[in-house]
Amino acid sequence: MGDKFLGYRRENGAVGVRNLIAIIPSVFCSAKVAQRISESVPGTVHFSHPVGCSQVGDDLDVTANTLIGIGRNPNFAGVVVVGLGCERFSPHELAEGIASTGKMLETVVIQDEGDSLKTIELGTRHARRMQQAASQEQRQETDVSELMIGLNCGGSDATSGLVANPALGIASDKLVAQGGSSILTELTELLGTEHILARRAVNEQVAQDILTVIHNMEERLTRQTQASSNAKRKHLISTGNYDGGLSSVVEKSLGGMKKSGNAQFVEVFKYGSAPTKKGLLLLEGPGHDGEATTGEVAAGAQIICFPTGRGTPSGFPGVPVIKITGNPRTYERMKENIDINAGRVITGERSLQEMGAEIYQEILSVASGKLSKAEVLGHDEQFCITRMP
């Protein structure tokens, strides 16, 4: 018997930690209508994005799969798809991708309704009805093996690799040991760790997959930086990372990978898709905080755990983001934005093991309904779909 949390069980058996209605535009042209629908019905969130048309191949495929994955995420009891009507990524394809979850689902299309005002009205009526139906759902005791957390660090400094990431790794290991799932990604910030991660693969195929996806990401970066004539544009790590004491991307990566603990990797999976196995997973995604967490939420993560040494307030629509800093000075400055002060390891108030246990307990509390600070303050900047070159 593992630990428990209180979650919302959906038609398809998946368990949400929030009970919201998602308003998802299939294309950027319908983003404002989606936003207006969401503004009319408290308890809904919207997913504005700049894509959905004039794309082809892998790039369009990743956009389509990611939007479908967001709609399928069990934190959402219902979805209103908002289309324009002539876009490359059809709103009906988006709805079909979500339909097998059995959740409440409606599609409104601006060119079918006549204009934006009529579409806002119809979408608002759908969202209102879904919200009232969702309000009758009750949280139920659920085994922790139903949880999937997404890992992402942003605004790293030297304390990230020293304290915050190792403590989160302890929490991640504890979840995985009980049958839950944890997703590591940010391949651009795993350069130099591939040989270590591959040794933690469950089998030879997964080891090879780890080496391949990190190699491919480095090749892509090399192409991009070689083509740039501006030396200032070639740095993979930020000014703040340098100021925080990180001198190279390899140093940052070696600290970054520690948030995945010591568990074995069971699968490497593509951006926009969902994993087929439970346990520690590697998502083939970039280092941009928002693109990384968007891929994790599209894969089914109900919670994001986000270490930040320098401090960032960003959040995700409809998905709690638990902020953890290893830097006691950052916590003092940004305590309105940061949930857990792992800097207490540096100030001698906690051991690393105690900090890991505290993060794990916070994950369970947030899964059962406690709001993260990013949610309370309405931060939702992290939804960004990655683009393929």
Partner 1 sequence: MIENEIGSFVGRKAALVLDKKDNVAVALADLAAGDSCLVADDDGRKYEVSVTEKIPFGHKFALVGLEQDSAVYKYGEEIGRMKAAIEKGGWIHNHNMYCERGMK
- List contacts with partner 1 (CB under 8 A): 157-159, 161-163, 166, 188, 191-192, 196, 218, 221-222, 225-226, 234-237, 242, 244-245, 247-251, 254-255, 309, 327, 329, 345-353
Minimum distance from CB of 165 to partner 1 (Å)? Answer: 10
DSSP secondary-structure letter at 160?
I
Helix (H) or strand (E) holding 181: strand 181-184
For partner 1, give the closer residue by CB, 161 or 317: 161
Helix (H, G, I), strand (E, B) or coil at 313: coil
Q: Which amino acid is at 70?
A: I
- Measured distance between the N- and C-terminal CA atoms of the chain, rounded to whole angstroms: 46
For partner 1, give the closer residue by CB, 115 or 219: 219
For partner 1, give the closer residue by CB, 178 or 248: 248
Minimum distance from CB of 161 to partner 1 (Å)? Answer: 7
Question: Which phi and psi angles does 184 have, rounded to 5°?
Answer: -100, 140
Minimum distance from CB of 171 to partner 1 (Å)? Answer: 15
Minimum distance from CB of 285 to partner 1 (Å)? Answer: 17
Q: Decide: 51 and 385 in contact? Cβ < 8 Å.
A: yes
Minimum distance from CB of 187 to partner 1 (Å)? Answer: 12
Strand residue runs (E) in 321-364 = 321-325, 340-341
Minimum distance from CB of 25 to partner 1 (Å)? Answer: 35
Distances (CA, A) of 108 to 12, 19, 237: 24, 22, 42
Token pair belonging to 45: 């969130």
For partner 1, give the closer residue by CB, 251 or 381: 251
For partner 1, give the closer residue by CB, 153 or 249: 249
| Cα-based torsion angle of the residue sequence 323, 324, 330, 332 in order, rounded to the nearest 10 degrees | 90
Helix (H, G, I), strand (E, B) or coil at 106: strand
For partner 1, give the closer residue by CB, 37 or 190: 190
In this structure, the number of other CB atoms found within 10 A of the CB of residue 86 comes to: 12
